[in-house]
């Protein structure tokens, strides 16, 4: 737990804290600008928040950059740290005298708190769990109609997931959610491949036609092989496979040869002209040959731009090298053509029959590839639908249990506040939205009582380490309700509650005694939080 905060800009240099309720007490005039909200913001700063820096820039402007020193105690051991306003994304680990030992990142510090408070839940951060429940003026997280919104206009779905995580129920849905995302990623990959024509795209009608054509082609190939007789069966089958491989190799080599020829032509052109080709010429070329790779042409032009820098001897050497490569490829193409010719003569099998088998097999492979990717995409789509359904069922069950537990606890808190439970607010949780119904009373005091009851319900049910409630939540709450609320706050002795209140004299003697017992600092117009006052 947090046990102290110190700063040399405080009028009271050290504020000590204890288990249970910790009260920042204002005066009986409810004076503003004495530091009540700022003190709570400093506490939030000690818990890894950054709103103190962003919302209280006037403090740095008037007091200068400063250090906030603070100490936590876990299992009997003290852990001392300090944060600065000029390097607030880092935290300084200190010895017992607050002398610097080492510097760590703020994220590492928050991980330390998450571990020590034993709320290291799946896919969570410490601030993601606690930040909402630090309801301090300036954080803008106290919209009574949207009490789960950590900032204005938060997405309902994200806030619901945060609540599920705080309840440590996220593991029940994360596995299904992860599987769903994997299928969605696969579908996006296939769709992108189809868009770029890397993967064939067909519809259900084409798939059905392909299936019929595949059956016919298989029957045709079998029929040809059977009619050739036993002696020709194996040679034809072997020839068919070898022809496919040779044709494939020849295509690859021919493409490579074309690239070399293009380079050679460019080199020879440069030798004779020594003139750079403009990119506009490439665009004209694409209009004639739309399948020409513009990026490749630009790459060749860059090659051309470099080569003209060399001496003529080096250009000639490049020309010879390209000619040599082309000769080697021509030789290999001749070898392949020779092999193809020999295969077509094997066993005196008629060339027409062999060509027919090759043609049919090529068509068969194309159709089977189209159907393969169609089936794969349809299978993934079905898996996505299944996982979405599973996720919806599991999430709905988790949210139903959370909703029931919160609403029942709110009723119990209302009983302790001595407010008719018929008027207790209810939270409704759906997968993508939530609502918070304040029943039959829209007064400010009653509405904020409803929000406080929601926080306390979640605080009691979960392992939320602390809550912080500022004075604006308590304005217009009836005195008797406020007295009962302070009683409830005081009962949380296993964790910490930090509140700021004013006008303690208006409460009864028992409540005054509790306030005196739980008070950690008292502020007024003379005894302000900071040594300097600049906003009056």
Contacts of 285 (CB under 8 A, 6+ apart): 292, 297
Are the CB atoms for 176 and 387 separated by under 8 Å?
yes
Domain boundaries, the chain: 1-144+471-536, 204-349
Binned at pLDDT 50, 70 and 90, residue 231 comes out as: very low
Look at residues 216, 135, 245 and name the one whose alpha carbon lies nearest to residue 475. 135
pLDDT of 76 above 70: yes
Instruction: Report how far residue 474's alpha carbon sits from residue 452's, in angstroms, rounded to the nearest whole number.
Output: 9
What digits encode the pLDDT tens for the residues 339-386? 877 776 654 455 566 677 788 888 999 999 999 999 999 999 999 999
Cα-based distances in Å from 53 to 83, 159, 302, 535: 11, 24, 52, 18
The strand pairing partners of 464, in sequence order, are none
Is CATH 1.20.272 the right assignment for the domain spanning 1-144+471-536?
Answer: no
What digits encode the pLDDT tens for the residues 505-514? 999 999 999 9
The backbone torsions φ and ψ at residue 500, rounded to the nearest 5 degrees and listed phi first, read -120, 130
Cβ-in-10-Å burial (0-12, 13-18, 19+) of 107 comes to middle
Determine the longest span between alpha carbons in the chain, in angstroms.
116
The strand pairing partners of 21, in sequence order, are 497
Contacts of 160 (CB under 8 A, 6+ apart): 148, 399, 429, 430, 431, 432, 433, 434
DSSP 525: S
Mean of the per-residue pLDDT values for the chain?
87
Contacts of 250 (CB under 8 A, 6+ apart): 333, 336, 337
The strand pairing partners of 79, in sequence order, are 72
Place of tokens 């919209």: 143
Look at residues 355, 337, 331 and name the one whose alpha carbon lies nearest to residue 239. 355
Which one has a higher pLDDT value, 283 or 116?
116
Cβ-in-10-Å burial (0-12, 13-18, 19+) of 314 comes to exposed
Contacts of 393 (CB under 8 A, 6+ apart): none
Q: Note the pLDDT of residue 284.
A: 61
Q: Note the pLDDT of residue 230.
A: 45
Binned at pLDDT 50, 70 and 90, residue 240 comes out as: low
Strand order in 2-6's β-sheet? 14-16, 2-6, 67-74, 77-84, 90-94, 100-105
What digits encode the pLDDT tens for the residues 132-174? 999 999 999 999 999 999 999 999 999 999 999 999 999 999 8
């Amino acid at each position: 737990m947090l046990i102290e905060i110190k700063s040399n800009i405080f009028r009271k240099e050290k504020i000590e804290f204890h288990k249970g309720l910790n009260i920042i007490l204002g005066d009986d005039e409810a004076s503003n600008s004495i530091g009540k909200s700022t003190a709570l913001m400093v506490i939030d700063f000690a818990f890894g928040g950054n709103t103190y820096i962003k919302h209280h820039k006037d403090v740095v402007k008037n007091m200068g950059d400063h250090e906030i020193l603070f100490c936590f105690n876990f299992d009997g051991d003290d852990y001392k740290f300090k944060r600065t306003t000029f390097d607030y994304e880092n935290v300084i680990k200190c010895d017992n005298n607050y002398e610097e030992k080492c510097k760590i990142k703020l994220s590492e510090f928050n991980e330390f708190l998450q571990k020590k408070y034993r709320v290291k839940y799946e896919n969570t951060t410490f601030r993601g769990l606690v930040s909402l429940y630090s309801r301090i003026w300036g954080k803008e997280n106290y919209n009574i109609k949207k009490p789960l919104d950590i900032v204005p206009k938060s997405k309902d779905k994200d806030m619901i997931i945060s609540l599920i995580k705080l309840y440590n129920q996220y593991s029940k849905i994360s596995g299904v959610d992860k599987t769903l995302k994997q299928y969605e990623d696969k579908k996006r990959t296939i769709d992108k491949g189809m868009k770029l024509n890397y993967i064939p795209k067909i519809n259900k009608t084409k798939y059905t036609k392909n299936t019929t054509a595949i059956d016919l082609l298989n029957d045709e190939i079998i029929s040809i092989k059977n009619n050739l007789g036993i002696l020709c069966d194996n040679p034809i089958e072997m020839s068919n496979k070898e022809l496919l491989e040779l044709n494939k190799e020849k295509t690859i080599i021919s493409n490579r040869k074309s690239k070399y020829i293009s380079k050679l032509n460019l080199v020879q052109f440069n030798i004779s002209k020594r003139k750079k080709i403009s990119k506009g010429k490439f665009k004209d070329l694409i209009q004639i040959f739309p399948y020409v790779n513009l990026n490749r042409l630009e790459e060749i032009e860059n090659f051309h731009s470099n080569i003209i820098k060399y001496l003529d001897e080096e250009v000639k050497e490049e020309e010879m090298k390209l000619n040599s490569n082309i000769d080697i490829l021509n030789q290999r193409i001749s070898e392949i053509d020779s092999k193809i010719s020999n295969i077509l003569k094997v066993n005196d099998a008629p060339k027409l029959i062999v060509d027919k088998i090759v043609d049919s097999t090529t068509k068969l492979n194309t159709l089977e590839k189209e159907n393969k990717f169609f089936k794969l995409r349809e299978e993934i789509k079905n898996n996505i639908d299944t996982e979405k359904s599973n996720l919806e069922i599991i999430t709905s069950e988790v949210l139903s249990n959370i909703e029931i537990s919160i609403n029942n606890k709110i009723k119990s808190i209302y009983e302790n506040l001595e407010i008719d439970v018929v008027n207790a607010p209810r939270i409704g949780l759906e997968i993508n939205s939530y609502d918070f119904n304040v029943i039959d009373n829209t007064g400010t005091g009653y509405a904020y009582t409803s929000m406080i009851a929601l926080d306390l319900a979640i605080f009691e049910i979960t392992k939320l380490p602390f809550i912080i409630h500022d004075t604006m939540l308590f304005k217009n709450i009836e005195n008797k309700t406020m007295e009962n609320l302070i009683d409830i706050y005081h009962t949380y002795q296993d964790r910490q509650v930090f509140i700021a209140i004013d006008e303690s004299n208006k409460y009864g003697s028992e409540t005054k005694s509790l306030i005196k017992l739980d008070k950690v600092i008292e502020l007024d117009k003379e005894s302000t939080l900071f040594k300097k006052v600049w906003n009056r």
